[in-house]
Amino acid sequence: MRIAIGEGSCGIAAGAKKLEEALIKSAEGKNIGIGITGCVGMCFLEPIVDIYEDKKLLKRLVKVKESDAERIVSAAEKGDFSSVSDLEIKEEDSEFLELQKRIALKNCGKINPESIEDYIAEGGYESLKKVLGIPPEKVIDEIKLSGLAGRGGAGFPTWLKWDLARKNKSENGRKYLICNADEGDPGAFMDRAIIESDPHSLIEGMLIAAYAIGAYEAFVYVRAEYPLAVKHLEKAIEQAKKSGFIGENIFGADFSCDIKIKTGAGAFVCGEETALIASLEGERGMPKLKPPFPAESGYKGAPSNINNVETFANVPRIIKMGGKAFSEIGTENSKGTKVFALTGKVKRSGLVEVPMGTTLREVIYKIGGGIKGEKKFKAVQLGGPSGGCIPENLLDTPIDYKELSKTGAIMGSGGMVVMDESACMVGMAKFFLDFTAEESCGKCVHCRIGTKRMQEILTAITEGKGKPEDIETLEELCDAVKEGALCGLGQTAPNPVLTTLRYFRNEYEEHVFEHRCAAKECSAMLSYVISAEKCRGCTLCAKKCPVSAISGEVKKTHIIDKNLCIRCGACSKVCPFGAVSIE
């Protein structure tokens, strides 16, 4: 019998490490193995404990506490799980995984990410061995047949990138392969989860790509904010080297390759490939004009190929299942599956992998279980700060590069943030503009100044200082920034503004012309009032007010001085009679 604790970042944050210690202690002297696994994707149920007999999953226990350790071990020892039935995953929550199709996430939450033996037992490194027996051109042909597009956001054909890098020559014969693991979108954690839970799939995918393009040196550019991912990747690289999968004459073939890790400082712009290369070379991460593209002149001026983690994680599976089989999943324009980080006001949040062509409604309502608190859906932000907000009437849009672009949003790397009726869409646009304006590298005028001007206008609108001409000015700025920005950060920065103006223009007009926020999120437009009928004069609100804006005698109606009120909401939270309302 074996017990595995989910120890991705989400599990550890929920207390999985302490739970592991408690389970190890409870299992002392018993014939029960205690180990770890990665994130299975059900972040809303962490900490998660899986009980196995050989490779068969017997029970999945969720929201487990340290205090449950002893009875879990006892149940596993006896083979009778009636004593832990209260911890078993509910049938409706099991649908979260059952409705998915996992290719990139195949091993996540299933194997020990720190064990190369576990990866090999699942067929790991067989695809690498297979491709080393065929010409590199044939490998590229197989990727072409699969229809795999880059999962970093742009959706550029993977095979074409590889083919260009292979055909281009450098003076010293060097070529480089780079993995972009600089995942910076707020609410996105797909790449992090893959590295934390299945690092060898990334390594194997990179080695296959390196062979295909003729590179003998590869880099993983990963965010320093991902310490667990870095730790697991370092260990996996060390294991792969000891096993002969990284290094000289891999599998006895005339192919050698080394993989190194470079940790980035967290600049969002370094997700852009030329800025990433600059950072990798020790320079400030700033984008460069293209052409030349990295496939022509990249790292150290040599032909270089860059793909993200999810793209590389798909490669070993494509080689194993065949490009044709992969291409039969998805749509005509978008092949295979896509991983999303489903977050926000949704009941079941976590990692989701679905076939291309699945609708947004299916992901949010079937897999995600719908909106928390049975509130009304309002919008879903797709593609991170460079994406757009999609309204309810477009929920049946299929997940497809072309179809999503028609809405004004983008696929992006896979962030999917769900908002309910309480969200202010003007405030949401401001939130993302705050992010992109701060993350702009400042190299080009359109992005450096344009995003700042948009941020200032949105701030004024949310503070009740909007002017009638602001909406038109915003639209003009959006068009100018999209047209003139140097890289993808600036070119897509206006998307949240454009889509909220397109689908929620009435909210902008309410803010500007009526100085009213219907969602009651823009505090500058709110007014707190105490009801004379409900107030009992208990003085709790006056005592809690941080600026002494509330006056009144004991057992008499209290009054809020609107000139002093800072709209913190403390009075509303503390009132036991519901006498404080927001207007």
Nearest to residue 262, comparing CAs of 248, 288, 283? 283
Task: Give the pTM.
Answer: 0.92
> Per residue in 296-332, pLDDT tens?
999 999 999 999 999 999 999 999 999 999 999 999 9
Query: Which tokens in the block code for residue 31?
Result: 């014939």
Contact call for residues 485 and 454 (beta carbons, < 8 A): no
Using CA atoms, how far apart are residues 462 and 384, in angstroms rounded to an integer?
A: 21
Which residues are within 8 A (CB) of 218 and not within 5 positions of it... i.e. 6 or more apart? 176, 177, 178, 179, 206, 207, 210, 257, 258, 259, 260
**6: Cα separation from own chain's centroid:** 18
> Per residue in 173-215, pLDDT tens?
899 999 999 988 877 899 999 999 999 999 999 999 999 999 9
Using CA atoms, how far apart are residues 295 and 309, in angstroms rounded to an integer?
A: 18
Query: What pLDDT, on the 0 to 100 scale, is given for residue 447?
Result: 93
Nearest to residue 410, comparing CAs of 309, 310, 489? 489
Contact call for residues 276 and 170 (beta carbons, < 8 A): no
> Per residue in 460-519, pLDDT tens?
999 999 999 999 999 999 999 999 998 888 999 999 999 999 999 999 999 999 989 999
Nearest to residue 110, comparing CAs of 221, 193, 226, 213? 193
Q: Indicate the burial class of 522 (C-beta count within 10 angstroms; 0-12, 13-18, 19 or more).
A: buried
Give the count of beta carbons closer than 10 Å to the beta carbon of residue 506: 10
